[in-house]
Homo-oligomer: A and B are copies of this chain.
Amino acid sequence: MAQGLKVLNAVLPQDVKLETKEYDLGAQRWHRTGDTLPDAELEALRNHDAILLGAIGDPSVPSGVLERGLLLKLRFAFDHFINLRPSKLFPNTATPLAGRPDIDFVVVREGTEGPYTGNGGSLRTGTPAEVATEVSVNTAYGVERVVRDAFERAAARPRKKLTLVHKNNVLVYAGHLWKNTFDRVAAEYPQVSTDYLHVDAATIFFVTQPERFDVIVTDNLFGDILTDLAAAVTGGIGLAASGNINPTGAFPSMFEPVHGSAPDIAGQGKADPTATILSVALLLRHLGYDTEAARIEDAVSADLAERDGVTRTTDEIGDALAVRVAS
């Protein structure tokens, strides 16, 4: 986070006055107080232009507490229906794929519906007769807005290609809603070429032919899975940035690395801050600072292209990028 703010400060024009406020949320706070995100802080966050979220999560906190109580609470409270996750194979990064395919696509993951709504429950919990359910909720309202956003993004890119990923041969109700909405909106974008893939088949193409993808639109859970895989094939989640976006501007959008918090190496100066720094670029682009966003992305590219294999500390990477974006 410190490196992200360092680069943000370095890239902004002199006349832009940046005001930042830090909120102490996450595992340590929960251990100290039992709170994850009290209403007062949620309300306070609402008044910011944007949120930069540090990676959260810690094995010492029961699974689900911080995820549902903090991260998902923010995504749902601020109606972040676009979860934007670009995937690009930067120069010199070690992809596990042979032959270094040319990867440059973006996943538009729905962020407020699907199996993430918390619907479901458990009956006779802990007994041999337990039944536990999870309900994926999909609305025409929710699907149409993310599909439209994805078409807009595809139309603005050189290749103008949009792929819908779902599993409509099994999840027939949600699948029909997604596919019908997609096909209907597609008629308004004749310049965008489209196709459809089942999520299982999509994972195959992610490793055998990732260059086939330009923009992908998909549901919350499939997007979660595919973007980790995408991060892996583009050289690891140390580089994967994401935006939780409400394009209407009604709420602040939130930017975060795709990766978790790695508490085992906290404070050792080993963590790669690049994903956070690239998240700052997404934040800037969202707020209209396109030139500054591009400067950060170009700096990361150039920095990786020129790196000599020497391992650098968290600080050194942040410093190097801050110098590049400032000059």
Q: Given A122-B177, A207-B96, A128 and B141 touching (CB < 8 A)?
A: yes
- Least CB separation from A101: chain B residue: B96
Instruction: Say whether A139 faces chain B, with CB atoms less than 8 Å apart.
Output: yes
Chain A 128-158: CB-based contact to B (< 8 A → 1; otherwise 0): 1111111111111100100000000000000
Q: Would you call A282 an interface residue if the criterion is a C-beta within 8 Å of the partner chain's C-beta atoms?
A: no
User: Nearest residue in B to A220 (C-beta to C-beta)?
Assistant: B170
With A97-B96, A225-B199 already in contact, the answer to whether A134 and B132 are too (CB < 8 A) is: no
Given that A64-B175, A68-B172, A96-B98 are contacting pairs, would A130 and B134 also be in contact in the complex, using a CB cutoff of 8 Å? Answer: no
C-alpha spacing A96/B96, complex, angstroms: 9
Q: How big is the A interface, by class?
A: 35 or more
Is the CB of A311 closer than 8 A to any CB of chain B?
no
Instruction: Indicate if A286 sits at the interface (CB-CB under 8 A).
Output: no
Contacts of A232 in B (CB 8 A): 203-204, 207-208
Q: Is the CB of B134 within 8 A of A173?
A: yes
Task: Report whether B225 and A225 are in contact in the complex, using a CB–CB cutoff of 8 Å.
Answer: yes
List 7 A-B pairs, minimum CB-CB distance, nearest first.
A200-B228, A130-B140, A203-B229, A204-B232, A98-B98, A132-B173, A134-B136
A47 at the B interface (CB under 8 A): no
A272 at the A/B interface (Cβ < 8 Å)? no
Bitwise, A228-263 to B at CB < 8 A (1) or not (0) is 110111001100000000000000000000000000
Contacts of A138 in B (CB 8 A): 131-134
Contact B72 A204 (CB under 8 A): no
Q: Return A164 CB to nearest CB of chain B, in Å.
A: 12
Question: In the bound complex, what is the Cα–Cα distance between A167 and B63 (angstroms)?
Answer: 10
- Please determine whether B203 and A225 come into contact, CB atoms closer than 8 angstroms: yes
Query: Please, which residue of chain B has its CB at the minimum distance from the CB of A179?
Result: B63
Flag if A200 contacts B171 (CB, 8 Å). no
Q: Flag whether A201 is at the interface (Cβ < 8 A).
A: yes
**Given A128-B141, A135-B133, A136-B115, A170 and B229 touching (CB < 8 A)?**
no
Q: Which of A57, A137, A208, A232 has the most CB of B within 10 A?
A: A232
Given contacts A97-B96, A207-B97, contact A64 B170 (CB under 8 A): yes
Add 10 more A-B contacts to A115-B136, A133-B137 (CB < 8 A). Answer: A63-B168, A64-B169, A67-B170, A98-B98, A120-B173, A124-B140, A132-B177, A201-B228, A203-B228, A204-B237
A190 sits at the interface (CB 8 A): no
A33 within 8 A of B: no
Cβ contacts under 8 Å, A130 to chain B: 139-140, 177
Residue A313 interfacial (CB < 8 Å): no
A268: B residues at CB distance < 8 A: none
